[in-house]
Amino acid sequence: MVAALLLDAGDRAEIERTSTHAPVRLCERADALRSLVAAGQVRFIVSELRDRVGASVIPVLGEAAAQGTRPTIVVRTALTDAAAGDVIQCAVARIPARVSIRKAESLAGAMRDALGSGGEGIADLAILERVGPSVPLQLRAFVVLCAAAPSPRLHVARAAQLLGVGRRTIESRLARAELPPAHRIIGWCVALHAAWQLDVLDRRPKQVAAAFGFASGAALANLVSRYCGCSATSLREHGAFRAQLERFAALVERSASIE
């Protein structure tokens, strides 16, 4: 069974339309989702992080994740400052969820990816757990977008469009926080996701290049060299992802005292 706490009408229609192989139970309150999970037979949860009355759903997701038959979890979120803060709280709570951003991808695609991951860990939550609390409030939605929707095709203009702000607004906020320009934050997040796949998931560079849609293995190698200062092959060593994440965190944490 799929348990879904979704308030967006489009998401509700999409999940009912695409979940043809399992019954879907829709709800709008955290306590209702808790009851569905407690009753058993929930194998998939799709949920926003606030319910209809504004209550946090994170505790319910944590309880579900602690079950012996842990369901697959997809967190569906908008790109607002408040929603981004909730996503960061979810990462800090270490909820094993696939984060799906409304307008950036379809809900059906996110569900397919979550099922196809086979329970593998997720880089975006590791990134957001480490750096999210240090990000200035007005930049959290941008950083959540970069971490949860990494792609060499995510350009600054597209990020600004998804966030509903001007490109100059993003750049000025980054400059005030003494952070790198937007294209470098985007590039760093793609590089970290690549490092996660190479190190934690033990993928080969060609597999990672294909997964991210790079034109070639050389394009991936160039990006990794630019941000990580090493070869893609060297990132397959144990601990490489964590070392690169700490380098990125050092850049972000400079802004914490300026906010």
Looking up residue 148, the CATH number of its domain turns out to be: 1.10.10.60
Co-location of 144 and 238 in the same domain: yes
* CA 232/CA 223 separation, integer angstroms: 9
Residues 71 and 147 in one domain: no
Written as one letter, the residue type at 180 is: P
How high does pLDDT run on average in the chain?
91
Residue 179, token pair as written in the block:
């952070």
What's the pLDDT score for residue 47?
Answer: 97
Asked whether residue 136 falls in the same domain as residue 257, the answer is: yes
Q: So what's the pLDDT on residue 255?
A: 58
Residue 90 sits in a domain whose CATH number is: 3.40.50.2300
Determine the pLDDT at residue 249.
95
Do 165 and 238 lie in a common domain?
Answer: yes
Residue 94: name the closest of 150, 132, 146, 55 by CA.
Answer: 132
H-type alpha helices, the chain: 9-18, 30-38, 58-65, 81-92, 107-116, 123-131, 140-148, 156-163, 167-176, 182-199, 205-212, 217-228, 240-253
Q: Which domain holds residue 41?
A: 1-119
pLDDT at 213: 86
In a domain, 127, yes or no: no
pLDDT tens digits, residue range 120-133?
668 999 999 999 99
User: Is position 126 within any domain?
Assistant: no
Rounded to the nearest 5°, which phi and psi values hold at 5?
-105, 95
8 Å CB contact between 129 and 106 = no
Please tell me the predicted confidence (pLDDT) of residue 119.
57
Q: What is the mean pLDDT of each run of 10 residues along the chain (259 residues)?
A: 95 88 92 93 94 97 88 94 95 94 91 75 90 93 94 91 95 93 95 94 92 88 93 92 95 66
Residue 70 lies in a domain: yes
Backbone angles phi, psi at 68, to 5 degrees: -60, -40
Among 70, 93, 119, where does a domain finish?
119
